[in-house]
Structure 1
């Protein structure tokens, strides 16, 4: 779970590793390519350790992320440092500390059901080319499954199963993934996958990994980028084994998100 210190030292290697694949089987993102992506540096109760997740900016003072990043059944967070507008987790950008996190009231860390939370910032961030909100589904999109479409996941997470932590750089990376049906996803993970989830396939060993959870899965719909998933879980067998990745389906929590905007 603890990633941050390894990221800090690894950023020194960023320039010499710019051509290496990222996320898992993905690539480096360009500056301003995902202005809605936030990194979370997470302070945990009872330890000096720091954990890492992602989140998505929805307005000048609200983000959406994963409930397990705040409480995963074992570790309880007491503060986030929200990092916006930078490709690197420990340098540049805008950094805002907050302890105002609203976890969905029936979040279950055993089954990972309802893995979603809203994050309140104490100030309004200034929008720019590098910091901007992501659109939420609306209209007909609220009734779409997005099965068969291509989504883009982005984050600061691990790049392979062999890494004990993030050992190279904390630069934002991204990967295009095919959204698959919950029926297919359930054939791998069982009935812990519900209609409140969505999944992407892992064919070719590509996908999200540790440190990416809480971050966005985005599709291009009706001329704009739209947040459809919050990264929730990967296979216990690893990120590169070809299994699907699981997300919290944003349309299932439309009312919860709107209530806290």
Structure 2
């Protein structure tokens, strides 16, 4: 059985790869997630994609996320855990290239799910709030959160700026995406055992397509009608590495639909 490659503090701003172990029982692997084998996204294709630079008291790392409203971004719980500052880029597919559509905001306000468990990454979901609302445009729009609790989703897309291979320590300058297929939790337990809970979903691409270091917190989306809907956030990969053919893991967002609404509507 493989152990979860629990996603922790993954990629430094300066391409120093600062990692912090969150011991996944019984493993102590480092954390990471990436888009391997993906396609470069078109401008405005995923207008909700958020690039999140995270700073804690003693480290810096990178995560992805998704805009859910004028003033909230959703990401993985381990991406906000112990954070003191977020610098978030919106409206652009590029991390560093010049782009007049890029908007950069800074904030220190976040809500971590109260039942998040850093040792097992259960309830691995968090929300970041901007200091002031952002205006929408063709390159900056929220993702629709789907509340369906179907066991499996047909035809999902994973996206992010993570590494494109285990050997390449650089983040991708361009947002990339790949089509992957979900599997039942029973199937996923054949790889990871009882570490898989009902609030997780596993997915696998052709060959080794999927997430890698720097993709943690990035959205898993699918088409509902003509619109993309959020169904998960990237949470873990196999301890065998990004290029392993083992499935990647995501936190299902549907079970947290009420909690998300309560937080973002100010009822938390």
TM-score by length of 1: 0.86
Match of 1:130 in 2: 139
**1:144 lines up with 2:150 in the alignment:** yes
Shift of 1:203: 4.2
**1:173 lines up with 2:183 in the alignment:** no
Q: How does 1:173-192 map to 2 (within 5 A)?
A: 173-192=176-195
Deviation per CA, 1:20-79, whole angstroms, max 9, x where unpaired?
xx92011111111110000001112124xx3100011000001111011122xxxx3211
Match of 1:160 in 2: 165
Q: For 2:231 and 2:104, how far apart are their aligned partners in 1?
A: 25
User: What SS does the corresponding residue of 2:144 show, helix, strand or coil?
Assistant: coil
Which has the higher mean CA deviation after the structures are superposed, 195-204 or 54-63? 195-204
User: What SS does the corresponding residue of 1:6 show, helix, strand or coil?
Assistant: coil
Aligned mate of 2:77, from 63, 67, 74? 67
Shift of 1:179: 1.1
Distance 1:203 1:242, change over 3 A: farther
Q: For 1:31 and 1:95, how far apart are their aligned partners in 2?
A: 17
Shift of 1:186: 1.3
Q: How does 1:214-229 map to 2 (within 5 A)?
A: 214-229=217-232
User: What SS does the corresponding residue of 2:50 show, helix, strand or coil?
Assistant: strand
Kept in 1, the 8 Å contact 2:11–2:213? The answer is no
Gaps of 5+ in 1: 8-21
**1:57 lines up with 2:67 in the alignment:** yes
Match of 1:13 in 2: none
Aligned mate of 2:255, from 249, 252, 255? 252
Shift of 1:196: 0.3
Which has the higher mean CA deviation after the structures are superposed, 234-243 or 22-31? 22-31
Kept in 2, the 8 Å contact 1:202–1:243? The answer is no
Kept in 2, the 8 Å contact 1:202–1:245? The answer is no
Q: For 1:250 and 1:179, how far apart are their aligned partners in 2?
A: 14
Kept in 1, the 8 Å contact 2:149–2:255? The answer is no
Gaps of 5+ in 2: 1-9, 17-33
Kept in 2, the 8 Å contact 1:37–1:55? The answer is yes
Instruction: Please identify which structure carries the higher helix content.
Output: 1
Aligned mate of 1:77, from 72, 83, 87? 83
Aligned mate of 1:198, from 197, 201, 220? 201
Q: For 1:179 and 1:2, how far apart are their aligned partners in 2?
A: 26
